[in-house]
Homo-oligomer: A and B are copies of this chain.
Amino acid sequence: MSIITAVETFDIRFPTSRDLDGSDAMNPDPDYSAAYLIIGTDAGDGHEGHGFVFTIGRGNEVEAAAIDALRPHILGKNAEELLADMGTTWKLLAHDSQLRWLGPEKGVMHMAIGAVINALWDLKAKRAGLPLWDLLAGLSPEEIVALVDFRYLSDALTPEEALEILRKAEPGRAERRARLLAEGYAGYTTTPGWLGYSDQKLTRLAKEAVADGFGQIKLKVGASLEDDLRRVRVAREAVGPNIKIAVDANQRWDVQDAIEWMGHLAPYDIAWIEEPTSPDDILGHAAIARGVAPIPVATGEHVHNRVMFKQLLQAQSLEVLQIDAARVGGVNENIAILLLAAKFGVRVCPHAGGVGLCEAVQHLSMFDFIAVSADKDGRMIEFVDHLHEHFITPVDVHDGCYWPPSAPGAGAEMHRNTLAAYSYPDGVEWSATSAADGSFELVPEFPLKEAAADA
């Protein structure tokens, strides 16, 4: 038996706004950040659990405070007990009646719960000597169902229906695992498409994406229709007719705006329109889906829990479901969402990028392929070639695919010197700059970055 002896939190920020990496119609100047935690035990096996919430700068300290608020639930507790029954551990955190008031099950507090849950899964996978995807894909259907909180889901998915989905996929697991190792899991790239990039940079990066084997790129849109039309044309010329182009409005529009805007972009063979409006607007997404058909609607990176995904599926609001590793309540709730997607027959194409989102979410898609949906046709994981060097086991992406990680754990562990150098505001990467004085540019009106800056 071992005891959890440390729950250490870090406020890690990367000054990405300096080059407009990550700029879009709603987020003109993000500083990619992570509210990060490390769980230590007295087991003496050298294993730690690492987890994080991805944020884009200001407020990262609030997210770290939320992780701190969960510390009493795990510090000093029996590690084996927590790790042996992760379904109960999820409920322990998500059903703290006082903390639940701060959501419920949404926003800062719920994301903090996800980070702690993911750190525990990291520890569990390291102890098992397996990468998380392989650990999850080796669980029995009953064990997987026991991880899921079905509260508020039973009108769409019961435990019995979930078991049926998982049992149906069970016979083919070994074959799909072998296919995954041989074929990889398709990725697509957003690297060329940030709103702050010039046409020249877009062209260069789009051509590189094709050369790197990606079958799809994605462009940020929604700030200026004229610019969007030009950029979609520029991108199409760069990639040719056989590469898919998706677009992403990052919640920029109201319902009617989205339908009209996409009407203009429709002739350019758009693979999907992502986040056309508020992630809360289930009925709005449904209206947009009807209005822009046959262009598929994609959303999910800001959808805050399984109850919202349930309704997006019930209302036929999306054709492409985009899970995020660090938005909902961690691995457990993402398994609930993967089961919902399988029930409704919707493909899952995870959101990634940011800090460590690629490293984390690949495990979920690979698990899904082996044990849940049994499908990877038309499915792909977002890829942004950015900040991977800060991770001990960065993603292995080549030939347009993610290749299954073999290192034990959940993939979210950063280098110790990164944690030191990018700690805000005292790390050397911040204390050396004027940004460390806490000053920043406010964005008083709705953020628009119409002028592109070349890097």
On A, residues with C-beta under 8 Å from B are 26-31, 55-59, 61-63, 65-66, 69, 72-73, 88, 91-92, 95-111, 151-155, 251, 254-256, 277-284, 287, 302, 304-305, 307-308, 310-311, 314-315, 438, 440, 442-447
Report B-chain residues with C-beta under 8 Å of the C-beta of A65.
Answer: 61-62, 65
Residue contact B304 to A106, C-beta cutoff 8 Å: yes
Chain B residues whose C-beta falls within 8 Å of the C-beta of A88 in the assembled complex = 444
Are B91 and A444 in contact, with the CB atoms below 8 A? yes
Copies of this chain, tallied across the complex: 2
Q: Tell me if B277 and A152 are in contact (CB < 8 A).
A: yes
Q: Which of B29, B154, B282, B284 contacts A155 (CB 8 A)?
A: B284
Is the beta-carbon distance between A151 and B101 smaller than 8 angstroms? no
B73 touching A69 by the CB < 8 A rule? no
* Chain B residue at minimum C-beta to C-beta distance from A438: B72
Q: Does the CB pair A256–B307 fall under 8 Å?
A: no
A96 proximity list for chain B (CB < 8 A) = 58, 442-443
Interface on chain A toward B: helix, strand, loop, or mixed SS? loop
Partner of A59, one of B29, B102, B255: B102
Determine the chain B residues whose CB is within 8 A of the CB of A30 once the complex forms: 97-98, 101
The smallest C-beta distance from A339 to any residue of chain B, in angstroms, reads: 16
Q: For the complex formed, measure the closest distance between the CB of A171 and the CB atoms of chain B, giving whole angstroms.
A: 32
Q: Chain B's nearest CB lies how many Å from the CB of A98?
A: 4
Q: Indicate if the CB atoms of B59 and A66 lie closer than 8 Å.
A: yes
Task: Contact check, B287 vs A155: say whether CB atoms are below 8 A apart.
Answer: yes
8 A-B contact pairs sorted by A residue (CB < 8 Å): A55-B101, A95-B443, A95-B447, A96-B442, A97-B447, A102-B107, A280-B311, A284-B311
| 10 residue pairs, one from A and one from B, having the closest CB atoms | A107-B107, A108-B108, A58-B98, A57-B98, A155-B255, A280-B307, A65-B65, A152-B278, A154-B254, A59-B99
Contacts of A445 in B (CB 8 A): 91, 95
* Nearest Cβ on chain B to A170's Cβ, whole angstroms: 27
A256 in contact with B154 given A58-B69, A65-B62 (CB within 8 Å): yes
> Chain B residues near A254 (CB, 8 Å)?
151-155
Q: How far is the CA of A254 from the CA of B151 in the complex (A)?
A: 7
Q: Which residues of B contact A314 (CB under 8 A)?
A: 283
Residue numbers in B under 8 Å from A59 (CB-CB): 66, 69, 98-99, 101-102, 109
Most buried by B among A63, A278, A305, A310: A278
Cα distance A142–B110 in the bound complex, in angstroms: 38
Complex Cα spacing A105 to B287, Å = 21
CB neighbours (8 Å) of A28 from chain B are: 97
Q: Which residues of B contact A308 (CB under 8 A)?
A: 280
Residue of B55, B152, B281, B287 touching A102 (CB-CB under 8 A):
B55
Contact between chains at B95 and A446 (CB < 8 Å): yes
Q: Which of B63, B99, B155, B442 is the one whose CB lies under 8 Å from A58?
A: B99
Residue of B nearest to A54 (CB): B101
Taking CB as reference atom, which chain B residue is nearest A92? B444
Most buried by B among A65, A111, A277, A443: A65
Q: Which residues of B contact A311 (CB under 8 A)?
A: 280-284
User: When A58-B69, A307-B281, A443-B96 are in contact, do A108 and B105 touch as well, CB less than 8 Å?
Assistant: no
Q: Is the CB of A103 within 8 A of B107?
A: yes
A25 nearest CB across to chain B (Å):
10
